Amino acid sequence: MKVGIIANPLKEGAKAALKRLRDALRAEGLEEFLEQETADLASESGGLVGPELAQLVDVVAVLGGDGTMLNALAKLGGTAKPLVGINIGTLGFLTSCTDDEIESFVKSLKEGSYGISRRTLISAKVVREGQETREFIALNEAALTRGHTGRLVSLSAMVNGELLNHYRADGLIIATPTGSTAYSLSAGGPLISPAAGVFVITPICPHTLSQRSLIVDDEAVIELSPDDTSDGPMLFTVDGRDCVEIQAMDRIEVRKAAQELNLLRLEGRSFYTAVRQKLNWRGG
């Protein structure tokens, strides 16, 4: 098995975790290949750009946290190769184990004792003057938010060509089930099982409290657009990156992407394990 490695060079402890992972892979006779920035972190040459790495390896191990997983997805492009997150610190919603469990992770990898969690991705396009811009792919969410003003903004949401609502809020989030634990949750949205075939539309700090989150099926096409030219440019982001200014006549089309993310899960680890740990649920 060939294992690609992407590490977050800004994460404290990344260099030590990288060495530990490489040592464990070599001890089990597994080949390892480094992404460019990861090779720089190891003070080595010959690192690969994301798409080349994805094409060469069987699985990609990502050292960092949930944010590093999102960045790794963007670096790799539309790969079907499984990703496994190794959190430097505590367990995340996207990561499968911590850096203290690297040796047991590598053993599981060699023995094939793991599962694959298929995660829906979002495809979002900005339509400007009737022309589509490039496609943006997101694992967590697409968001249209207020720009440089401190005021609420007016925006509309359409679902399958039908008006859903005119919102007066700080913005609007379209989240996948995976993204229900991220920005949408912070804005008051519900937790959703990753296997659910849905999207959640969550307003950010709405002016009217009756404007709540709405869950729609993930075959729906959702369109967002500014309502009021006096609000000035708004900001469109996917997974907190690729920030684009949205003008009054622009609109954003959001739908399920053609590809999925294959997330490697170790035995005994699940979404529910992460929920209990991250949200400090005790039960009983």
242 catalytic per annotation? no
This prediction has a pTM of 0.91
pLDDT in tens, 7-43: 999 999 999 999 999 999 999 999 999 999 999 999 9
Query: For residue 59, what are the β-bridge partners?
Result: 3
Domains identified in the chain, total number: 2
- The sign of the CA dihedral 65, 67, 72, 73 is positive
pLDDT of residue 25: 98
Q: Are residues 186 and 92 in the same domain?
A: no
Give the DSSP H or E segment for 110. helix 102-111
Q: Are residues 65 and 130 in the same domain?
A: no
Indicate the pLDDT class of residue 283, thresholds 50, 70 and 90.
low
Residue 133 lies in a domain: yes
Q: What does the alpha-carbon distance between residue 66 and residue 91 come to, in Å, rounded to a whole number? A: 9
Average pLDDT over residues 53-65: 96
Q: Are residues 250 and 157 in the same domain?
A: yes
CB 32 within 8 A of CB 26: yes
pLDDT of residue 242: 86
Residue 2: how many CB atoms within 10 A of its CB?
A: 15
Residue 84 lies in a domain: yes
Q: In which domain, by residue range, is 37 found?
A: 2-113+267-278
Q: Are residues 130 and 107 in the same domain?
A: no
Indicate the pLDDT class of residue 133, thresholds 50, 70 and 90.
confident
**Choice among 40, 58, 66, 228 that is catalytic:** 66
Helices 102-111 and 14-27: crossing angle in degrees, nearest 10, is 40
Q: Are residues 129 and 95 in the same domain?
A: no
- Does residue 89 register a pLDDT over 80? no
